[in-house]
A = this chain, B = another copy of it.
Amino acid sequence: MPEYKAPVRDMKFVMQELLDCDSHYQKLGYEDASLDMVNAIVSEAAKLTEQVIAPINQTGDEQGCTWTDGEVTTPDGFKDAYQQYVEGGWPTLAQSVDFGGQGLPHSLNMAINEFFSGANHSFAMYPGLSHGALATIEEHGSDIQKNTFMPKLVDGTWTGTMCLTEPHCGTDLGMLRTKAELNDDGSYAISGTKIFISAGDHDLSDNIVHIVIARIPGSPEGSRGISLFIVPKFNVTEAGDVADRNAVSCGSIEHKMGINANATCVINFDGAKGYLIGEINRGLNCMFTFMNAARLGVASEGVAAADASFQGALAYAQDRLQMRSLTGVKNPDGPADPIIVHPDVRRMLLTQKSIAEGGRALIGYLAQLVDIGHASKDEAEKATAESKLALLTPIAKAFLTEAGLECTNHGIQIFGGHGFIKEWGMEQLMRDTRISCLYEGTTGIQALDLLARKVLGSKGEILKPFGADVTAFCVENLTDEAMQEFIKPIMAYSADWQKMTESIGMKAMKNPDEIGGASVDYLMYSGYLVLAYFWAKMAKVAQDKLAASDDDKAFYQAKIKTARFYFQRILPRASGHAACLANGTESMMELDSEDFIF
C-alpha cells in the first residue's frame, strides 16, 4: 500500500503564497484564522491523517461494511478512528460558534478534507455527508430544529445523510414517490424507499439525521412538488437527547466497485416521523444550498485521488529498476535504471502531479469564494464570488473527478502488472475514485449545468467576472518575458473558448440537442483552460519567490517546470475536444434507437 503523506508543503503554497489566505481571512473577519493557527491546524490534520486515517484504508476495503439484522457495522478501526476525529474537535472546525463550532473558515476545512479523502476516501465520506445535512438545517431549518439537531451534528456525536435517490429516479428527482403525510402533531409521516444513501447506516455515531426529499399528497407533479424533511434514525427529545427508534431502517447495503468501507444503503421509511424544513414544495431549492458545497467536496476527492496515486507511483518509479535509459546508463551500479528515467513514465507522473497540484489550486480558490459567500459584508463582492462559484463548480466537479480517475489509472500503469494486484493499493484508488464521476450529479449532468443552465442560460454573462480576472492577469504579465510561454496559450485558448461558446449558442437556437452533444467536450475544454490559468498564476508566484530569495529554490523551480509540462503536454488536449465539438451533434442523433445493434 502506498504510504500516504499529507501534501502539507504544497497546501501551504496554495493557501498562503498563491491565495494569500492571511489577508483573505482577516478581511472577512475570521480573526482566529491567523497564519499560526492555519499552520497548526494543517499540521495536526496531517498527523491525524497519516497516523490514524490512512492505516485503515486498505483493510477497510478488504473487509468492507457488513449488514446484519438491519444494522451496519463498519470495518475494524473505523469506529476508533472516528472517535479520535471527534475528540480532536475536527467536525466542529468550520461550524457556527452558536452551535458549538469553532467558526473557522470553510476554506480551511476544505483544505484538510483533501488530506482525509486522499488517505481514505470511504472514511472521509462519513463526516462529509454530515456536512451537507448540517448546512441544510442551518440554512433552512427553524430555530427549534437548529437547536435540536445542530449541536450534536456539529460535535460529531451524530452524523447526517442526504436521502434523494429512489430506485426509479436519480437525476430526475421530479419522479420521486416517497410520501410525506401530515400528522396531528404537525410532524409528517414519511413512507418510501431511498437507495444509494452513503453513510446511510453505520456504527460510528449515536444517531443519524437523514435529510429526505418527499412529496406531500396534493403537491404538484414533478420537481415543483418536492418538500424537504429531517428524519432522524432515533427520535429526539426536546432537550436534544436520543429517544426511541424512528420507523427508519436499512434494508440492505450495496456491493460496489469501490468505497467498500462506506455503507451505501437502501433506507426504508415506514411512516417515519419527519419534520418539514423550509417551505412546502420548495425542497429542491433548499437542496441547491448544500449541492454546490457537496460538488466542491467531490471535486476535491478527484484531486485527493490523483495525489495519492501520484505519491504511490512516484515512490515505485524511483525504486523499481527496469531497462536502461535511451540516452545512456543512469544507474551504473544497478542492474538497470529506475523507471523514472523513462520519458513515458515521467509523462504519466507529471500528468498526475500537474492535475493534483493544479486541482488543489482551483479548489483552494473556490473554497475562498465560499468563504466570501458566507462571511463577506460587501454585497457586490458576494455576488461576484457567487457568480464565479456557479461557473466554476461544475467545471471543478466534473473535470477534476474525470482527471482524478485518469490519474489513478496512470498510477496502476506505472506499476505495470503490480498495479493490478490489490496488495499494492493502486487499484483501490481507481476503484474508489470511480464513484466521484457519478455521485452528486454525473459528469454529463455537470456539463449540462455548465453549458445549458449557466453559460447559455445567462447568455454568457456568467463568464464575465471570472473572464475579467483571466484577462487582467494576462494583461498584467504581457510584457514579462518569462511569462510568455504561459500567457500566450491562455489568450489563444480563451479566444477560442469564446468563439466556441458563441458558435454553440447559435447552433442551439436551431436545435437544443446541440447543447447536450457539445456539453462534455465543452466542459473538458473549460477544465483544461481553467487549470492552465491557475498553473500560470502558480508559475508567476514561483518566479517572484525565486527572484526574491534563495529559499526553497528547488520547490519553486519544480513549480515552474510542472507548469511548463502542463502547458506543453496537457493543455493541448483541449484542441482535441474543440475539434470533436466543432462537428456538432448531427452524427449522434441520426441513428434510431432500435438500430444500434442487429
CB-CB under 8 A from A336, the residues of chain B are: 172, 175
Give min CB distance, A194 to chain B, whole Å.
Answer: 12
Instruction: Determine the distance from Cα of A350 to Cα of B597 in the docked complex, in whole angstroms.
Output: 11
Give min CB distance, A168 to chain B, whole Å.
Answer: 7
Which of B171, B323, B554, B580 lies in contact with A171, CB distance below 8 A?
B323
Q: Do B171 and A322 touch (CB < 8 A)?
A: yes
Instruction: Determine the distance from Cα of A350 to Cα of B517 in the docked complex, in whole angstroms.
Output: 12
Give min CB distance, A327 to chain B, whole Å.
Answer: 5
Confirm or deny: A263 has a beta carbon within 8 angstroms of a beta carbon on chain B. no
Instruction: Determine the distance from Cα of A416 to Cα of B577 in the docked complex, in whole angstroms.
Output: 23
Give min CB distance, A568 to chain B, whole Å.
Answer: 4
Q: Do B434 and A416 touch (CB < 8 A)?
A: no
Instruction: Determine the distance from Cα of A401 to Cα of B555 in the docked complex, in whole angstroms.
Output: 37
Confirm or deny: A557 has a beta carbon within 8 angstroms of a beta carbon on chain B. yes
Q: Do B589 and A512 touch (CB < 8 A)?
A: no
Q: How many residues of A contact B (CB 8 A)?
A: 111
Residue of B nearest to A13 (CB): B598
Q: Do A516 and B344 touch (CB < 8 A)?
A: yes
Confirm or deny: A245 has a beta carbon within 8 angstroms of a beta carbon on chain B. no
Confirm or deny: A28 has a beta carbon within 8 angstroms of a beta carbon on chain B. no
Confirm or deny: A53 has a beta carbon within 8 angstroms of a beta carbon on chain B. no
Instruction: Determine the distance from Cα of A340 to Cα of B326 in the docked complex, in whole angstroms.
Output: 49
Query: Contacts A322-B169, A335-B175, A554-B595 given: A588-B343 contact, CB under 8 Å?
Result: yes
Confirm or deny: A42 has a beta carbon within 8 angstroms of a beta carbon on chain B. no
Give min CB distance, A14 to chain B, whole Å.
Answer: 13
Q: Do B516 and A444 touch (CB < 8 A)?
A: no
Confirm or deny: A138 has a beta carbon within 8 angstroms of a beta carbon on chain B. no
Q: Do A587 and B575 touch (CB < 8 A)?
A: no
Q: Do A579 and B590 touch (CB < 8 A)?
A: no
Instruction: Determine the distance from Cα of A341 to Cα of B591 in the docked complex, in whole angstroms.
Output: 11
Confirm or deny: A94 has a beta carbon within 8 angstroms of a beta carbon on chain B. no
CB-CB under 8 A from A583, the residues of chain B are: 568-569, 572
CB-CB under 8 A from A420, the residues of chain B are: 256-258, 434-435, 438
Give the interface centre of A9, A353, A420, A438 by most chain B CB atoms within 10 Å. A420
Confirm or deny: A564 has a beta carbon within 8 angstroms of a beta carbon on chain B. yes
- Known pairs A175-B336, A350-B588, A558-B591 / 5 extra A-B pairs, C-beta < 8 Å: A172-B336, A256-B421, A257-B421, A345-B444, A564-B587
* Chain A interface residues (CB < 8 Å from chain B): 5, 7, 9-10, 165, 168-172, 175, 196, 254-258, 310-311, 314, 318, 321-323, 325-327, 335-336, 338, 340-347, 349-350, 353, 405, 409, 412-413, 416-417, 419-423, 427, 430-431, 434-435, 437-439, 442-444, 447-448, 452, 511-513, 515-517, 519-520, 552, 554-555, 557-558, 561-562, 564-565, 567-570, 572-577, 579-580, 582-593, 595-598
